[in-house]
């Protein structure tokens, strides 16, 4: 089966320093993949390279067999990539409902959208997503009144509403309480099978809760891949993490 | 004006003088813009009342000269000090509270300019006042084909002096180091014990002072009247924007460029028409180089 | 959780419709042609505040150049009405041109012989200008205070143009068409109730049209762009496309105001392109509440009402107070009077909840 997202020998170098170095990755449709690695392993850079926020120095990225690595950012978004940023980015002055509605990108043209009004389909989709991310009771609230965890959920919700083919989540639990993290884990588990996700995380207990397969990066390179049990038993991974002071909660 | 004699033909001597006038215009715009450039570059504040600081400078010089009897040449530095103090008070009382909202500072300072214009009009009357300058300043200087009044030369000199002084303050003094530190990163500067609030007050006061200095001279070329400041504000903004925010050198080059373009256009057509094309050119220029001539690393956008 | 009545869309529509319906009775109640004309002027100024509210309040674009659209349209309408008083045979060109040594009607003026063409041009030219100007700015990603400065410069450029092109614009004096607007055989008397109702009808259409526009997906994305352009771009929207569109629509509304203005005052001069006038529009919208269309309109009524009540002798004092008021509003009440209403209604909602011990 062809992978939905495929990274082939992806490299990012600043002069001599290779932040990502010949990295390969295949994510299949309906899979939830965790990308793990100690600080500075090149995880966020990898996400930047996939979305086009940074330019590749070598290698290529393909989505469903099409090479997208020389496309501009917004074309990749339109092709089906959606990203949740490390620091939550929502429209603070708008309500939760409006945020989700803005993310529901059926039409993009300004002129076309002058004649698009809130309809049943949009409404249903928003309600569906809102209950998925525990914000059903908060639809009328302005985004800047949400707690930090809720803001993260709202952005996850926006990424979901986009109906993208693959969701890239950069540290979705950063700054959350243990309870909120657990709830986020439940959200992600609910997405398995219907959505394809690539999740960058530090928090091991969260990864244990959600991961099917885990890929570990170290110094910009592929280190290991397997189920969470495989990874936790892997001696190389243990050595890398012990050098960093254990696979604890870094955020 | 008539359409028939709209265009002026080229003639060597007047054209060379137009180029010289361009430099003179540039020096006026630069001295008007310098304070604005520093305040925007350091604090990210668009001060719409900057033109009114120019006006206050002219009135301070006028009051000092006619009421107190201070000679004109002393009124110029005095205007710097007086308007600088007013600027410090305004920074403390108003601008300080709006740092996080740049559009709102723009509007609030516009409200302030309205208050200053009308306040002066109510207290000192709407009629234009005459600021006397020494007779020798009004004489003309002639070198080869060039002819210019000593007053223009004087403004030229003061502008260069103010520019050099500003550059020196910013790049060769401890105060300047602090200002540049705050410009680059307010939080980091605070960590190193720099009081950003104090730096901002000083910067704003200095910018206002420069406007006051400019006003004391402008008042003597033309007249002193309550809304004289609005005649400089747009040009001053354009000098800053075209030069590149936060770049003193950029302001220097853009004032020369804009002044020359204006003067040459004005030579062939007339002043207002030249201004139209100048403004249009600036808008087109910004279309292709929105960061200005000298894109500074510390530019805020 | 109970919601704030202020945010209830149905309630908003009811308030809007009731407001405009009540405004229709104003000329019947006052029964004094001078005051009727004054109120018609307020309606037009309200329309300018409306355009500012759209572009600045909702679009986050602080345009100090709304006067460009207003002024260009006003000149177009002034030229149209002037030409209605000319005759191809007996008096082919306006008298101010004669005093400026013109012997032939300039090409620029020719289309204005025909009234419908003239009015269409008066609306179309400023709108197309805003489209091109907006495209230049927003495609270059000019944003924030830079937009304010660039629009200000453009406005000053047009001002000096209107001032200086004396043979074409009558310069400082401006154009004062000798007789009121004729539509076919019908004469629109500026002091009649009819003129007032035309202005009110247009204001109502413009306001309800914009209200509808803001409730569309377009309106939502315009606001999203205001909040965070980067995020909107990352959802796949063309940020500059939305900015250009909202800027152009606001230009059209200001142009409509320009046309109506000359119909009501029978005069146009470079003051319509003055910087002070354009910034005043921003003040009206800020006082009433830039985030509320109706609020902005009421802000224009309020400020201009006080100004004409105080009269010309008090003008300087008034401007002093206006400047001070503006500083206070920006500093303490950034959402204007509408924002005040919003927080009052919010309290009504919150209080019962507080008593339940939340």
What is the arithmetic mean of pLDDT over C209-216?
Answer: 95
Q: Would you state the pLDDT for residue B299?
A: 38
Asked if A218 and A245 touch (Cβ cutoff 8 Å), the reply is no
Instruction: Kindly determine whether residue C156 and residue B279, on different chains, have CB atoms separated by under 8 Å.
Output: yes
Nearest residue, CB atoms, C320 vs list B119, B237, B283: B119
Nearest residue, CB atoms, C161 vs list B3, B103, B276: B276
What is the Cα–Cα distance from C128 to A40, expressed in whole angstroms? 52
Q: What's the gap in Å between the CA of C213 and the closest CA on chain A?
A: 6
What is the arithmetic mean of pLDDT over C309-323?
Answer: 76
Instruction: Kindly determine whether residue A105 and residue C237, on different chains, have CB atoms separated by under 8 Å.
Output: yes
Instruction: Name chain A's partners: 3 or more CB pairs within 8 A.
Output: C
**Beta-strand pair A81-84/A166-170:** parallel
What is the arithmetic mean of pLDDT over C340-348?
Answer: 85
Q: Would you state the pLDDT for residue B2?
A: 44
Alpha helices for B94-173 (secondary structure H) = 102-124, 135-138, 150-172
Per the prediction, chain C carries an average pLDDT of 89
Selected for mutation to probe chain C from B106, B119, B230 (highest C CB count within 10 Å) is: B106
Residue A159: closest CA among chain C residues belongs to which residue? C235
Residue among B10, B9, B25, B16 nearest B271 (CA): B25
Q: How many Cβ atoms are within 10 Å of B198's Cβ, its own excluded?
A: 12
What is the arithmetic mean of pLDDT over C121-132?
Answer: 97
Domain locations along chain C: 5-26+36-355
Q: Would you state the pLDDT for residue B4?
A: 47
What is the arithmetic mean of pLDDT over B175-187?
Answer: 78
Classify each residue of B107-117 as buried b or exposed e, where b means 16 or more C-beta atoms within 10 Å of its C-beta.
bbbbbbbbbbb
Question: Nearest 5°: phi and psi at C183?
Answer: -110, 105
Tokens of C305: 């009402």
Considering the domain boundaries, does residue B257 fall inside one? no
Q: Which range has the top average pLDDT, B119-128, C111-120, C229-238? A: C111-120
Question: Nearest 5°: phi and psi at B114?
Answer: -60, -45
Asked if C174 and C267 touch (Cβ cutoff 8 Å), the reply is yes
With 50 as the cut, is the pLDDT of residue B107 above it? yes
- Report the share of chain B in percent with pLDDT over 90: 22
DSSP per-residue letters across A101-141: HHH--S---HHHHTT----HHHHHHHHHHHHHTT-GGGTTS
Instruction: Kindly determine whether residue A107 and residue C217, on different chains, have CB atoms separated by under 8 Å.
Output: yes
Q: Which of A68-72, C54-58, C100-104, C120-124 has the lowest mean pLDDT?
A: C100-104
- Report the share of chain C in percent with pLDDT over 90: 54
Considering the domain boundaries, does residue B208 fall inside one? yes
pTM value? 0.88
What is the arithmetic mean of pLDDT over A177-191?
Answer: 87
Instruction: Kindly determine whether residue C139 and residue B107, on different chains, have CB atoms separated by under 8 Å.
Output: no
DSSP 8-state class, residue C63: -
Residue A90: closest CA among chain C residues belongs to which residue? C231
Q: Would you state the pLDDT for residue C295?
A: 94
Instruction: Kindly determine whether residue A102 and residue C224, on different chains, have CB atoms separated by under 8 Å.
Output: yes
CA distances from B259 to B19, B30, B238 (A): 9, 9, 11
Any CB–CB contact under 8 A between B3 and chain C? yes
Nearest residue, CB atoms, A98 vs list C220, C228, C234: C220
Provide the pLDDT confidence category of residue B6 given band limits of 50, 70 and 90: low
**Burial status of residue C258 (CB atoms within 10 A of its CB: 0-12, 13-18, 19 or more):** buried
Instruction: Kindly determine whether residue C156 and residue B272, on different chains, have CB atoms separated by under 8 Å.
Output: no
What is the Cα–Cα distance from A94 to C307, expressed in whole angstroms? 36
Q: Would you state the pLDDT for residue A87?
A: 76
Chains B, A in contact: 3+ Cβ pairs under 8 A?
Answer: no
With 80 as the cut, is the pLDDT of residue A96 above it? yes
Instruction: Kindly determine whether residue B122 and residue C320, on different chains, have CB atoms separated by under 8 Å.
Output: yes
Show the domains of chain A with their CATH numbers. Answer: 1-80+164-186+196-251 (3.40.50.300), 86-163 (no CATH)
Provide the pLDDT confidence category of residue A242 given band limits of 50, 70 and 90: low
What is the Cα–Cα distance from A73 to A154, expressed in whole angstroms? 22
Q: What's the gap in Å between the CA of A29 and the closest CA on chain C?
A: 22
Any CB–CB contact under 8 A between C108 and chain B? no
What is the arithmetic mean of pLDDT over B182-204?
Answer: 80
DSSP per-residue letters across A18-35: EEEEEEEEEE-TT-EEEE
C230 contacts on A by Cβ (under 8 Å): 89
C221 contacts on A by Cβ (under 8 Å): 102, 110, 113
With 60 as the cut, is the pLDDT of residue A244 above it? no
* Residue numbers of the domain that contains B158: 31-227
A78 contacts on C by Cβ (under 8 Å): 236
C63 contacts on B by Cβ (under 8 Å): none
Domains contained in chain B, number:
1
Q: Would you state the pLDDT for residue C355?
A: 46
Chains C, B in contact: 3+ Cβ pairs under 8 A?
Answer: yes
Per the prediction, chain B carries an average pLDDT of 84
Provide the pLDDT confidence category of residue C256 given band limits of 50, 70 and 90: very high
B241 contacts on C by Cβ (under 8 Å): 146, 149-150
Strand order of the β-sheet with A58-63 is A17-27, A5-14, A58-63, A66-67
What is the arithmetic mean of pLDDT over C117-142?
Answer: 93
Asked if B39 and B209 touch (Cβ cutoff 8 Å), the reply is no
Residue among B104, B70, B156 nearest C331 (CA): B104
Count CB pairs under 8 A between chains B and C: 140
Terminal Cα-to-Cα distance of chain B (whole angstroms): 42
Instruction: Kindly determine whether residue B234 and residue C156, on different chains, have CB atoms separated by under 8 Å.
Output: yes
Number of residues assigned to chain A: 251
C24-73 pLDDT, tens digit each: 999 888 888 899 999 999 999 999 999 999 999 999 999 999 999 999 99
With 90 as the cut, is the pLDDT of residue C126 above it? yes
Residues B36/B41/B43/B44 CA torsion (nearest 10 deg): 90
Residue B93 CB partners (closer than 8 Å, separation 6+): none
Considering the domain boundaries, does residue B252 fall inside one? no
Chain C contacts to A (CB-CB under 8 A): 1, 3, 7, 213, 215-218, 220-221, 223-224, 226-228, 230-238, 241-242, 244-245
What is the Cα–Cα distance from C52 to C251, expressed in whole angstroms? 9
Q: Would you state the pLDDT for residue C2?
A: 58
Q: Would you state the pLDDT for residue C319?
A: 79
Interface subset of C 128-167, CB within 8 angstroms of B: 133, 136-137, 139-146, 148-150, 152-154, 156-158, 160-161, 163-164, 166-167
Q: What's the gap in Å between the CA of C336 and the closest CA on chain B?
A: 13
Residue B81 CB partners (closer than 8 Å, separation 6+): B209, B212
What is the Cα–Cα distance from A83 to A97, expressed in whole angstroms? 19
A24-68 pLDDT, tens digit each: 999 998 889 999 888 888 888 999 899 888 888 889 999 988 899
What is the arithmetic mean of pLDDT over C87-91?
Answer: 84
The CATH number of C5-26+36-355, from 1.10.600, 1.10.10, 2.60.120, 1.10.3470, is 1.10.3470
DSSP per-residue letters across B28-83: HHHHHHHHHHHHHHHH----TTHHHHHHHHHHHHHHIIIII---HHHHHHHHHHHH
**Greatest CA span in chain C, whole angstroms?**
84
What is the arithmetic mean of pLDDT over A204-209?
Answer: 86
B280 contacts on C by Cβ (under 8 Å): 154, 157
With 70 as the cut, is the pLDDT of residue C352 above it? no
Any CB–CB contact under 8 A between C93 and chain B? no
With 80 as the cut, is the pLDDT of residue C114 above it? yes
B257-300 pLDDT, tens digit each: 999 999 888 888 877 788 888 888 888 888 788 777 776 433 33
Q: What's the gap in Å between the CA of C238 and the closest CA on chain A?
A: 8
B290 contacts on C by Cβ (under 8 Å): 140-142, 146
**Burial status of residue B10 (CB atoms within 10 A of its CB: 0-12, 13-18, 19 or more):** exposed
Asked if C68 and C129 touch (Cβ cutoff 8 Å), the reply is yes
Q: Which of A131-145, B85-99, C299-313 has the lowest mean pLDDT?
A: C299-313
Any CB–CB contact under 8 A between A163 and chain C? no
Instruction: Kindly determine whether residue B272 and residue C136, on different chains, have CB atoms separated by under 8 Å.
Output: no
Q: Would you state the pLDDT for residue B198?
A: 86
C325 contacts on B by Cβ (under 8 Å): 111
Q: Would you state the pLDDT for residue B295?
A: 60
CA distances from C335 to A11, A209, B107, B234, C295 (A): 49, 46, 13, 28, 10
Instruction: Kindly determine whether residue B2 and residue C286, on different chains, have CB atoms separated by under 8 Å.
Output: no
Asked if C131 and C244 touch (Cβ cutoff 8 Å), the reply is yes
Classify each residue of B175-195 as buried b or exposed e, where b means 16 or more C-beta atoms within 10 Å of its C-beta.
eeebbbbbbeebeebeeeebe
∠ CA A153-A156-A159, nearest 5°, is 155
What is the Cα–Cα distance from B277 to B166, expressed in whole angstroms? 31
DSSP 8-state class, residue C278: H
Count CB pairs under 8 A between chains A and C: 85
Nearest residue, CB atoms, C101 vs list B2, B98, B122: B2
What is the arithmetic mean of pLDDT over C80-107?
Answer: 86
Considering the domain boundaries, does residue B163 fall inside one? yes
Q: Which of B1-15, B98-112, C261-275, C283-297 has the lowest mean pLDDT?
A: B1-15
With 80 as the cut, is the pLDDT of residue A88 above it? no
B157-169 pLDDT, tens digit each: 889 999 999 888 8
């Amino acid at each position: 089966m062809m992978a939905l997202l495929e990274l082939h020998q992806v490299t990012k170098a600043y002069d001599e320093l290779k932040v990502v170095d010949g990295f390969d990755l295949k994510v299949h449709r309906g899979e939830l993949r965790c990308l793990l690695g100690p600080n500075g392993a090149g995880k966020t850079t990898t996400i930047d390279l996939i979305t086009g926020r940074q330019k590749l120095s070598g290698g290529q990225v393909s989505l469903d067999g099409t090479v997208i690595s020389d496309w501009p950012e917004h074309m990749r978004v339109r092709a089906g990539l959606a990203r949740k940023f490390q620091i939550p980015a929502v429209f603070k002055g708008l309500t939760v409902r409006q945020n989700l509605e803005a993310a529901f990108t059926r039409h993009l043209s300004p002129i076309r959208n002058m004649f698009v009004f809130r309809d049943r389909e949009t409404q249903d989709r928003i309600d569906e997503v809102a209950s998925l991310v525990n914000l059903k009771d908060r639809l009328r609230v302005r985004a800047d009144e949400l707690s930090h965890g809720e803001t993260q959920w709202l952005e996850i919700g926006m990424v979901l509403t986009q109906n993208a083919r693959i969701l890239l989540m950069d540290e979705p639990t950063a700054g959350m309480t243990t309870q909120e993290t657990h709830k986020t884990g439940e959200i992600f588990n609910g997405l398995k099978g219907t959505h394809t996700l690539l999740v960058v995380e530090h928090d091991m207990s969260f990864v244990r809760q959600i991961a099917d397969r885990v890929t570990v990066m170290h110094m910009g390179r592929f280190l290991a891949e397997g189920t969470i049990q495989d990874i936790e038993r892997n001696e190389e991974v243990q050595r890398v993490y012990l050098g960093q002071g254990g696979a604890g909660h870094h955020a | 004006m008539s359409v028939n004699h709209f265009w002026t033909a080229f003639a060597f001597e007047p054209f060379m003088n137009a180029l010289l006038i361009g430099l003179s215009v540039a020096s006026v715009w630069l001295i008007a813009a310098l304070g604005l450039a520093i305040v925007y570059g350091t604090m990210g504040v668009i001060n719409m009342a900057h033109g009114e600081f120019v006006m206050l400078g002219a009135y301070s010089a006028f009051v000092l000269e006619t009421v107190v009897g201070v000679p004109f040449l002393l009124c110029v530095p005095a205007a710097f000090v007086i308007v600088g103090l007013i600027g410090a008070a305004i920074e403390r009382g108003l601008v300080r509270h709006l740092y996080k909202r740049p559009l709102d500072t723009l509007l609030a300072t516009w409200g302030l300019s309205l208050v200053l214009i009308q306040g002066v009009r109510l207290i000192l009357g709407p009629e234009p006042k005459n600021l006397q300058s020494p007779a020798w300043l009004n004489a003309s200087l002639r070198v080869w084909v060039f002819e210019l009044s000593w007053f223009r030369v004087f403004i030229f000199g003061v502008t260069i002096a103010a520019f050099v002084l500003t550059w020196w303050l910013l790049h060769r003094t401890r105060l300047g180091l602090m200002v540049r530190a705050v410009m680059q990163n307010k939080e980091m500067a605070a960590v190193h014990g720099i009081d950003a609030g104090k730096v901002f007050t000083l910067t704003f006061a200095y910018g206002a002072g420069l406007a006051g200095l400019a006003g004391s001279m402008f008042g003597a070329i033309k007249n002193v009247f309550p809304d004289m400041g609005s005649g400089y504000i747009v040009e001053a903004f354009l000098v800053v924007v075209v030069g590149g925010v936060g770049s003193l050198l950029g302001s220097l080059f853009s004032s020369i460029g804009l002044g020359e373009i204006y003067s040459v256009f004005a030579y062939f057509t007339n002043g207002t028409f030249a201004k139209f094309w100048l403004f249009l050119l600036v808008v087109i220029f910004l279309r292709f180089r929105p960061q200005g001539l000298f894109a500074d690393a510390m530019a805020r956008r | 959780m109970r919601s704030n009545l202020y945010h209830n869309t149905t309630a908003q529509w009811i308030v809007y419709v009731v407001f405009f319906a009540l405004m229709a009775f104003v000329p019947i109640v006052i029964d004094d042609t001078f005051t009727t004309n004054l109120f018609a002027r307020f309606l037009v100024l309200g329309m300018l505040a409306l355009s500012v509210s759209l572009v600045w309040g909702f679009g986050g674009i602080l345009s100090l150049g709304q006067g460009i659209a207003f002024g260009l349209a006003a000149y177009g309408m002034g030229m149209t009405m002037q030409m209605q008083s000319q005759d191809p045979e007996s008096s082919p060109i306006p008298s101010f041109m004669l005093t400026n040594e013109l012997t032939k009607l300039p090409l620029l003026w020719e289309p204005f012989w025909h009234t419908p063409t003239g009015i269409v041009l008066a609306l179309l030219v400023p709108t197309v200008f805003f489209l091109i100007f907006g495209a230049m700015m927003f495609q270059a990603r000019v944003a924030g205070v830079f937009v304010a400065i660039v629009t200000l410069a453009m406005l000053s450029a047009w001002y000096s143009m209107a001032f200086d092109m004396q043979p074409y614009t009558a310069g400082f004096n401006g154009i004062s068409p000798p007789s009121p607007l004729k539509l076919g055989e019908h004469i629109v008397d500026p002091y009649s109730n009819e003129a007032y109702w035309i202005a009110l009808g247009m204001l109502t259409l413009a306001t309800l049209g914009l209200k509808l526009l803001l409730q569309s997906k377009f309106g939502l994305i315009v606001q999203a762009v205001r909040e965070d352009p980067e995020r909107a771009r990352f959802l796949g929207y063309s940020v500059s496309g939305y900015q250009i569109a909202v800027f152009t629509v606001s230009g059209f509304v200001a142009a409509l105001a320009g046309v109506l203005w000359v119909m009501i005052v029978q005069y146009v001069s470079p003051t319509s392109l003055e910087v002070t006038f354009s910034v005043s529009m921003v003040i009206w919208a800020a006082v009433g509440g830039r985030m509320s269309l109706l609020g902005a309109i009421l802000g224009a009524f309020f400020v201009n009402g006080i100004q004409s009540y105080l009269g010309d002798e008090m003008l300087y004092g008034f401007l002093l107070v206006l400047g001070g008021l503006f500083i206070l509003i920006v500093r303490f009440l950034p959402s204007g009077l509408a924002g005040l209403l919003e927080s009052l209604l919010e309290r009504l909602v919150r209080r019962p909840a507080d008593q339940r011990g939340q």
